[in-house]
Structure 1
């Protein structure tokens, strides 16, 4: 018996079976361009907020599966969410969007350019470099981007912090969240919101939010140490536009798209109610 291309022996014997993919309910967008801005709370016409800026590589088409779908290996069961012009969400008013673009995102772009130059350097560099950056602005930007990267799920603790920062009701040094940055050399765009982990041997844990786009990964969490890294919070200053020197570990290059949800002795990863996705170019 000749089996037509695309069919299996089983499907030929019992009739051709076609499984229709459905939209991934974890990341299917909420339709509508008018709503409450995620940063200031004002109800208005919502504008496109890129996570991260287009200038650091977040441009062109991306295709996303939810983080849990990716971890479970169920990509073939769901259609991918398509982002034709970079990973973007219609979740902010024009005032908040323009403010982030003119202030915080300039520090993001500058930091990306610095790290790209370092990683592409032909020189033999020490494992830890001292990098100059506007850390307050960079940290605020990552919090804002993680908060705006959600047009589907409930608020997390980070979203309340983002609102207070945007409304100048809280200074970044008082946010009680910890900031981390490291080299990410994968080829995906990764957003992980509101996940928790626990170490059952040493009886500690916490929650975190992660944002990765090569060559950088960022995390914001509730503990001063995260997966072996120490937070950059001691380098925050009273003035948002002040340059500071921070240590950056070049040897901690990470390329696992699913990290930090990877197998580890005595650790368990728990997903919250908020949103996460892993996107690729095609």
Structure 2
């Protein structure tokens, strides 16, 4: 199948390629069912209340071949390794007050850039990629200059639910811009231009302090959360 459109990352008109979100090797190689805004919000649509099937796994045609190949070769394998370690931790560690604390041997900057690439690919309004400096941060693999108005946080989860890459909501008495991706073993919460919500997340924005391909042992106390809504920040 050939699809043409605007690449979510570089912004150029091009033939788009299927991108797995998360990467295929991160337990995303089998068919999945999902619901999007049409299924959940558009009561006038015959698809309302139903589900869609993706035979290739979770993902879609969001990036051009060049951006897909570059981010895949620079960051995807390091995220896959992170996810594999997370899956082991999820199934072998004992919860302590719903937190699972473990050490991960990863390349932190590479992992963070892959996560942000997933958010950019799923986001439909271009609000995220239009943040000054973000496109350069992703496309220049050596850069660690993440825009200061973006924070990335995470938790551990045993569910598959891509949820919203970007939402605007009044939560905790404050108008916020945030997004969320949940796909076992991890969930990621993105806060843009506004303070993060008061939830037991682990902030990983500091991954930018390392260099591209630099390996590190990071200790992450991750709360186990189960999303209860398509909207970010709401859990069982």
| Cα distance in 2 between the residues matched to 1:214 and 1:75 | 30
Listed one character per residue, the Cα deviations across residues 174-214 of structure 1 (whole Å, up to 9, x for unaligned) are 3221111211112x2323122134345xx545321111111
Is the contact made by 1:143 and 1:162 (CA closer than 8 Å) also made in structure 2? no
| Match of residue 116 from structure 1 | 87
| Match of residue 114 from structure 2 | 141
Q: How do residues 1-12 of structure 1 correspond to structure 2 at under 5 angstroms?
A: none
SS of 1:210's equivalent? Answer: strand
Greater length-normalized contact order (CA 8 Å, ≥ 6 residues apart): 1
Matched, 1:46 2:8: no
| Match of residue 26 from structure 1 | none
Gaps of 5+ in 1: 1-30, 265-282
| Cα distance in 1 between the residues matched to 2:175 and 2:137 | 26
Listed one character per residue, the Cα deviations across residues 219-255 of structure 1 (whole Å, up to 9, x for unaligned) are 22135644232422234225121123333224x1112
Shift of 1:133: 2.0
| Match of residue 196 from structure 1 | 168
Task: Assess, with a 3 A threshold, how the Cα gap between structure 1 residues 70 and 247 changes in structure 2: closer, same or farther.
Answer: farther
Shift of 1:69: 4.9
Q: How do residues 230-249 of structure 1 correspond to structure 2 at under 5 angstroms?
A: 230-249=202-221
Aligned pair partner of 1:208 in 170, 178, 195:
178
| Cα distance in 1 between the residues matched to 2:217 and 2:42 | 40
Query: Between Structure 1 and Structure 2, whose CA radius of gyration is higher?
Result: 1
Listed one character per residue, the Cα deviations across residues 137-168 of structure 1 (whole Å, up to 9, x for unaligned) are 11111111121125xx3212245455332443
Aligned pair partner of 1:80 in 51, 66, 69:
51
Is the contact made by 2:34 and 2:53 (CA closer than 8 Å) also made in structure 1? yes
Matched, 1:36 2:6: yes
| Match of residue 232 from structure 2 | 260
Equivalenced residue count is 228
Matched, 1:220 2:193: no
| Match of residue 106 from structure 1 | 77
Shift of 1:98: 0.9
Matched, 1:97 2:68: yes
Is the contact made by 2:202 and 2:221 (CA closer than 8 Å) also made in structure 1? no
Listed one character per residue, the Cα deviations across residues 56-93 of structure 1 (whole Å, up to 9, x for unaligned) are 12122222222585489999834433211112211211
Q: TM-score, normalised by structure 1?
A: 0.68
Gaps of 5+ in 2: none
Instruction: State the Cα RMSD in Å.
Output: 3.3
**In terms of mean alpha carbon deviation, does 76-85 or 98-107 score higher?**
76-85
